[in-house]
A and B are shown apart, each in its own frame.
Chain A
Amino acid sequence: MREALDQWNFVIAAYAVVIIATLVLVGWSWLAMKRAEARRDEAKRR
């Protein structure tokens, strides 16, 4: 028996994966940059 596939499920899954991963990548990079710059400024002040 042929399996019925709803194409939209695959489309939505692909878009969700890309959007979530891109947002996590940007957010994580932003936080890591800010933390590193704060550590550098702290080292300068000491």
Chain B
Amino acid sequence: MHGFANPARFLRLARWLMPSCLLLGVAITSLVVVYGLFYAPPERLQGETARILFIHVPTAWLGMAGWTTIAIASFVELVWRHPLAALAARAAAVPGAVFTALGLLTGSIWGRPAWGTWWVWDGRLTSFLVLLFLYFGYIALAGALDREGGNGRIAAIFGLVGAVNIPIIHYSVLWWNSLHQPPSISTGGSAMSGEYLYGLLAGALGFSFIFGGVVLMRMRELLAEAQAAARLRRRASGAAEGMA
């Protein structure tokens, strides 16, 4: 793992991995969108609205996966002081927040025809909304610490503490009464027909590649900003020594 702590080695890897992730992600997701809109059969009870499953579930999963990435990277940053772990945590925050917002939006759009309401304050929806606010807090905190030169470990601790919400989201439909259905996929099998299950898994794979590509792009951006700032600082300190 520490082999990738070298920024030059990371950049060599990211230069081919990032476009590969994006190309694969766009290709698979495009196929899933076409399948979801034109080829998937209407569901017996929910009719055409069940097609939203192919985009709602992957975006919601990635909202949770984004915070899991932040928590793991924060742990690595705190324990091993891996220099790229802090960048990875910060890079996952914006795409994680976007996918969380998309999970909420598509769920709300699905809820109106399926449940008769855009929103209910039940355990699943509320804990997922809390996740979006946690993202906003993390982005604001990490940004302020980076700008003001504060201790980045505070953001890492926030990332770890916020991870407590992930199992709450997962188990909310089992712990509390909810309009949201319980999980259809578990380690024991799936309650879904193959026509929906394989499309859903392909959607999850496609969106995950896009998410990975965006995280790598944001890591390259943050690394370039850090390198430019370090160079400017070195030049400024060199000029100050020259004047002295």
Q: Which residues of A contact B (CB under 8 A)?
A: 5, 7-8, 10-11, 13-15, 17-19, 21-22, 25-26, 29-30, 32-33, 35-37, 39-40, 42-44, 46
Contact residues, B207-227 vs A (CB, 8 A): 207, 210, 213-214, 217-218, 220-222, 224-225, 227
A44 to B33, CA, bound (A): 43
CB-CB under 8 A from B112, the residues of chain A are: 5, 10
B214/A14 in contact, CB under 8 A = no
Q: Which 8 A-B pairs have the closest CB atoms?
A: A36-B224, A7-B48, A40-B228, A40-B224, A33-B221, A29-B217, A36-B221, A43-B228
CB distance from B146 to the nearest CB of A (A): 13
Q: Which of A18, A43, A44 has the most CB of B within 10 A?
A: A18
Does B238 belong to the interface (CB within 8 Å)? no
CB-CB under 8 A from A40, the residues of chain B are: 224-225, 227-228, 231
Task: Give the number of residues in B that approach A within 8 Å (Cβ atoms).
Answer: 40
Does B28 belong to the interface (CB within 8 Å)? no
CB-CB under 8 A from B214, the residues of chain A are: 25-26, 29
CB-CB under 8 A from B210, the residues of chain A are: 22, 26
A33/B213 in contact, CB under 8 A = no
CB-CB under 8 A from B232, the residues of chain A are: 43
CB-CB under 8 A from B33, the residues of chain A are: 15, 19
A15/B218 in contact, CB under 8 A = no
CB distance from B69 to the nearest CB of A (A): 15
Does B109 belong to the interface (CB within 8 Å)? yes
Q: Would you mind naming 9 contact pairs between A and B with Cβ atoms under 8 Å apart?
A: A7-B47, A10-B49, A21-B101, A33-B217, A33-B220, A37-B224, A43-B227, A43-B231, A43-B232
B225/A36 in contact, CB under 8 A = yes
Q: Given the interface contacts A26-B214, A37-B220, A40-B228, does A10 sit within 8 Å of B55 by beta carbon?
A: no
A26 to B23, CA, bound (A): 11
Does B75 belong to the interface (CB within 8 Å)? no
From B47, B55, B98, B227, give the contact of A14 (CB < 8 A): B55
Q: Which residue of A lies closest to B105 (CB)?
A: A17
Does B95 belong to the interface (CB within 8 Å)? yes
Does B126 belong to the interface (CB within 8 Å)? no
CB-CB under 8 A from B56, the residues of chain A are: 14
A18/B113 in contact, CB under 8 A = no
CB distance from B74 to the nearest CB of A (A): 21
From B51, B59, B95, B220, give the contact of A11 (CB < 8 A): B51
Q: Given the interface contacts A11-B51, A25-B214, does A39 sit within 8 Å of B36 by beta carbon?
A: no
